[in-house]
């Protein structure tokens, strides 16, 4: 049973990946460059020492 779920989820993930690759191809986006750029932004916005285990962005007030 768990194996069937995993197979279906893997197929769905593959569909999402294919759609993303087609989107990037048609819009001229270099996916690897976009990922690298976003990871750098995330490193600046979420420094490990201030973000690990915390849901909010550092400096952002917690909402309850």
Q: pLDDT per position in the chain (64 positions), as tens? A: 689 999 999 999 999 999 999 999 999 999 999 999 999 998 888 888 877 777 676 666 666 5
CB 50 within 8 A of CB 58: yes
Question: What are the domain boundaries of the chain?
Answer: 2-51
Distance from C-alpha of 49 to C-alpha of 16, rounded to nearest angstrom: 33
For tokens 């197979």, the residue is: 7
Counts of helices then strands in the chain (DSSP H, E): 3, 0
């Amino acid at each position: 049973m768990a194996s069937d779920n995993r197979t279906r989820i893997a197929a769905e993930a593959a569909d999402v990946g294919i759609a993303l690759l087609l989107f990037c191809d048609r819009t001229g986006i270099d996916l690897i460059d976009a990922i690298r750029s976003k990871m750098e932004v995330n490193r600046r916005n979420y420094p490990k020492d201030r973000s690990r285990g915390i849901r909010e962005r550092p400096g952002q007030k917690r909402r309850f």
